[in-house]
Amino acid sequence: MSGAADLSSFGLGSDSFITVLTGAGVSAECGIPTFRGAGGLWRTYRAEELARPEAFREDPRLVWEWYDYRRGICAGKQPNPAHHAITRLDEKVSDFLLITQNVDNLHGRAGTRRLVELHGNLFRARCLDCGAVTSDLPVPLPEIPPHCTCGGMLRPDIVWFGEALPEKAIREASEASRDCDLMVVAGTSAVVQPAASMPLLAKQAGAHVIEVNPDPTPLTPYVDLHLEGKAGEVMPGLVDSILELTSP
């Protein structure tokens, strides 16, 4: 699947606001397991069991070991053609926002600057005592659990199940979803809220929505176009098609 798509009926132009919503599938071709696909288990644990405040309170060492394992995997991978294609949109479209659920930092490493990380970032940690955020912890961690310079224990700067998303991130993402003309939804199972409702917000407000995924999701019946395929194969051509219509 090349991703070249006929978007001529979408009414896009140089003043169109383009958003992209990504999930773990966008990094799958880098060799990073998705959450709900094969390889999503660590030891015997599912993500939902460990990505919770109660799990951290009970066994911070276990939870940090899982995050450090994931930091190690992600640090050793390179952005793929889907990440680079999204960076081209960021560079060339005047009104653009990437909303990502991914915590792997690969969009940032690919050079995308206008982005909202809804679920945080694996390479940041936050002090439970003083609240300071640090992004310079070594990979792998020399000490688990790691501690802040103030002596307090650090936690991953990740939004866990049962926790509220950062207010600024959710506001920016919701506003962009309501205001955009086109949303491309790539590599997400569209089951975790509130991210899963962003494309529906966009649709209700009159935007066109394109989904890129090898499989159907609960969102598929509502989208204008479902491009069946891998993000790394579909996104470059799709971005070319969008840029053809939005370039001044």
Q: Pick one of 10, 17, 35, 56: the residue that binds ligand OAD (CB under 6 A).
A: 35
The site map against ligand OAD for 4-23 (x = CB under 6 A) is -------------------x
Does 215 bind ligand OAD (CB under 6 A)? Our answer is yes
Binding string, residues 37-76; x marks residues near ligand OAD by CB under 6 A: x---------x---x-------------------------
User: What is the SS3 assignment for 136?
Assistant: coil
Active site residues: 119
| 54-59 CB contacts, 8 Å cutoff, 24+ apart | 54/162, 56/155, 56/160
Closest to 156 (Cα-Cα) out of 122, 130, 131, 132: 122
Residue with nearest beta carbon to ligand OAD? 25
Task: Give the nearest distance from C-beta 210 to ligand OAD in angstroms.
Answer: 13
Task: Return d(Cα 117, Cα 127) in angstroms, integer.
Answer: 19
How deeply is 219 buried, as exposed, middle or buried, from its count of CB atoms within 10 A (0-12, 13-18, 19+)?
buried
Sites for ligand OAD among residues 143-162 (CB under 6 A): 159
The rounded distance, in Å, linking the Cα atoms of 177 and 195 is 10
Give the residues lining the site for ligand OAD (CB under 6 A). Answer: 23-25, 28-29, 34-37, 47, 51, 101, 103, 119, 159, 186-189, 192, 212-215, 217, 230-231
